A and B are shown apart, each in its own frame.
Chain A
Amino acid sequence: MPKLYTFLKYFFVVIWACFVIAPFLWAISTSFKDFNSVTGGATYIPWLQFEPTLDGWSVLFKPGSQGGINIIGPYFNSIFVTLTASLISIVLGTLAAYALSRYTFKAGIVKNNDITFFFISQRIMPPVVLSIPFFIFLSSLGLLDSLAGLILVYIVLLMPIAVWIMVDFFNRVPREIDETALIDGCNPFQAFFKVVLPNSVPGMLVAGLFCIIFGWIDFFFAFILTFTKVQLLPVKIVALNSSITPWWSLSAAALVSVAPLIIVAFIVERYLSKGNLSGALK
């Protein structure tokens, strides 16, 4: 019985690993092909089945005037928007989460849990529902097609995540920590910044990682709210899909764009193994 289980375990894990890795291997192989190798049918192994070229990769770094795609600008835009929105969301979300975890709010029938739910419920809203009013909202502010406008929208997207993770986290940080600080003569702000915050770094890191993931992988808002001046990476790459699809540069661009977040997978795994994540993520 245990033997059968062990066998099934390895069998299933290996199958899933192949499934996870398949699109990446396919993309890597495709990125070294040219027109003829792509249209000649599916091939996998360079040199053996097709003659590899670097065209797909070199075109990414040429400016548009030379027939290139130039993803460097969108790349930095994506990084800037994601990091800024994540940072603002973490700061505001952590403060709000601390209030919701430590104090009691009551206004009519609205209590702490309802406020927490209000924050988190923003995730229910499909991007498309918000995109039309946001379009009009941002154009009236003159923020359409700008980084600032996108950051504003991404805060709505990311703050719920920060609040969700941090409320949970603060609920696990013993109250005695703040109470001791208050007895020692700190006011609530000093207690928070000097005592609670230093103890909350693991939680904030996890919240930050999640904000970065969900900011980086968003497509729809960037797709609707920006046009030419500001382009984010996913929009740029999907735009390639609509023309006569150059599979090779598409694959190369896709690999370049998912690469940075794969590092995040390693960080998250480290946290898991050290047991820090389980506390911050119920």
Chain B
Amino acid sequence: MNFKHKYVFLLPGLIVLIGILIFPIIFTVRLSLSGWNSFNPGLDFIGLKNYIRLFTDDPRFWQSFFRLSFLAITTVFLQYIIGFALAHMVWKDIKFKRFFRVLFLIPMMTTPVIMTVIWRTFFHESLGPLNDFLSIFGVQPPWLSSPGLAKVSIIVVEVWQWTSFMFLLMLAGLLSLPKEPFLAAAVDGASPFKKFIYVTFPLMAPISIGAIIIRLIEASKIMDTVFVLTSGGPGTSTETSSFFIFIKGLREFQMGYAATASFTYLIIMIISLTIIVKVLTKVLMRE
């Protein structure tokens, strides 16, 4: 095919994307080498001071990062298990199939911050329905004000919100599977359980990898939920990397330091996602 045409197709999108992003990215790198804060706003040059501070003298950043990893992996794992199970359940014969499918799709269509506002009232210690129900059993857990339960609350909301996305990807995958392997399994008289282990699951492996990676990427940005539900609290017990950067940059106005944290975070994310892709491919694609 012709040489020039391909650029006419590709370049508009590429140029617009790079055009919008080039300044922010370069600026972040430059900002991370400056001491811009509210007392001293300006692009001075302080070398790697911010990076040294981040790597040697800021446990809070690393704690927020590990907390994020924990939350992201836990929620995506739960979403995958539940999403796949639900998709498998409404894949074939079930009454009210279409009703359940629509219902299970709805959470991902709702705005996370807005639903989290509702969830916050839901988890309210004395006025919310959850504790109203639990008071039958004589307990009233402080859902949002104890460090452990606050994490549980965030996981519940994230799983509620995004299992539907996993469900959609897995159901679309199941519906696109070829029929022949299932017929062969039926001829062999395989039990439903064996059918799942030996036919469905291997066939779904590439789709599973794709879905898990997409969700991990999105989950690593957990921010809206934390922002509304707990504001990182109590203390810093639910602070994630995004929220840490938000506090440093846009609340304490340590712009330079926030940029350092952002840039470091991005590099770590790109490296760890690459590793995760490799590992997942190895584990799930095993014959």
Taking Cβ atoms with an 8 Å cutoff, the residues of A that contact B are 1-2, 5, 9-10, 12-13, 16-17, 19-23, 26-27, 30, 38-39, 41-42, 44, 88, 92-93, 95-96, 98-100, 102-103, 105, 115, 119, 121-134, 136-137, 152-153, 155-156, 159, 163, 182, 187-189, 192, 213, 216-217, 219-220, 224, 233-234, 237-238, 240-241, 245, 247, 250-251, 253-254, 257-258, 261-262, 264-266, 268-269, 272-273, 275, 277-279, 281-282
| Contact between B266 and A41, CB atoms less than 8 A apart | no
Known A124-B217, A188-B2, A238-B117; judge A262-B106 contact (CB<8 A). yes
| Contact between B168 and A268, CB atoms less than 8 A apart | yes
Q: Which residue of A lies closest to B115 (CB)?
A: A23
| Contact between A122 and B109, CB atoms less than 8 A apart | no
Known A124-B266, A159-B16, A238-B114; judge A258-B249 contact (CB<8 A). no
The A interface is mostly helix, strand or loop, or mixed, namely helix
| Contact between A19 and B14, CB atoms less than 8 A apart | no
Question: Which residues on the A side are within 8 Å of B103 (C-beta)?
Answer: 17, 20-21
| Contact between A126 and B220, CB atoms less than 8 A apart | yes
Known A126-B242, A241-B228; judge A99-B9 contact (CB<8 A). yes
Q: How far is the CA of A44 from the CA of B12 in the complex (A)?
A: 54
Chain B min CB distance to A101 (Å): 10
| Contact between B10 and A224, CB atoms less than 8 A apart | no
Known A95-B13, A123-B218, A132-B255; judge A30-B126 contact (CB<8 A). no
Known A20-B107, A23-B115, A275-B175; judge A129-B23 contact (CB<8 A). no
Known A128-B242, A241-B120; judge A105-B6 contact (CB<8 A). yes
Count B-side interface residues using an 8 Å CB cutoff: 94
Question: Which residues on the A side are within 8 Å of B101 (C-beta)?
Answer: 269, 272-273
| Contact between A257 and B221, CB atoms less than 8 A apart | no
Chain B min CB distance to A47 (Å): 18
Question: Which residues on the A side are within 8 Å of B221 (C-beta)?
Answer: 126-127
Chain A min CB distance to B137 (Å): 15
| Contact between B223 and A220, CB atoms less than 8 A apart | yes
Q: Is B77 an interface residue (CB 8 A)?
A: no
Taking Cβ atoms with an 8 Å cutoff, the residues of B that contact A are 1-2, 5-10, 12-14, 16-17, 20-21, 23-25, 27-28, 31, 82, 85-86, 89-90, 94-95, 98, 100-115, 117-122, 126-129, 131-132, 160, 164, 168-169, 171-173, 175-176, 191-192, 206-207, 210, 217-218, 220-221, 223-224, 228, 241-243, 245-246, 249-250, 255, 258-259, 262, 265-266, 269-270, 273
Question: Which residues on the B side are within 8 Å of A119 (C-beta)?
Answer: 13-14, 17
| Contact between B110 and A258, CB atoms less than 8 A apart | yes
| Contact between A264 and B109, CB atoms less than 8 A apart | yes
Q: How far is the CA of A96 from the CA of B14 in the complex (A)?
A: 7
Question: Which residues on the B side are within 8 Å of A224 (C-beta)?
Answer: 250
Q: How far is the CA of A159 from the CA of B128 in the complex (A)?
A: 40
Report which of A16, A132, A136, A254 forms a contact with B250, defined as CB distance below 8 A: A132
Chain A min CB distance to B256 (Å): 10
Residue among A13, A163, A234, A258 with the highest chain B CB neighbour number at 10 A = A13
Q: How far is the CA of A279 from the CA of B204 in the complex (A)?
A: 15
Q: How far is the CA of A152 from the CA of B127 in the complex (A)?
A: 42
Report which of B94, B115, B243 forms a contact with A9, defined as CB distance below 8 A: B94
Q: How far is the CA of A237 from the CA of B102 in the complex (A)?
A: 26
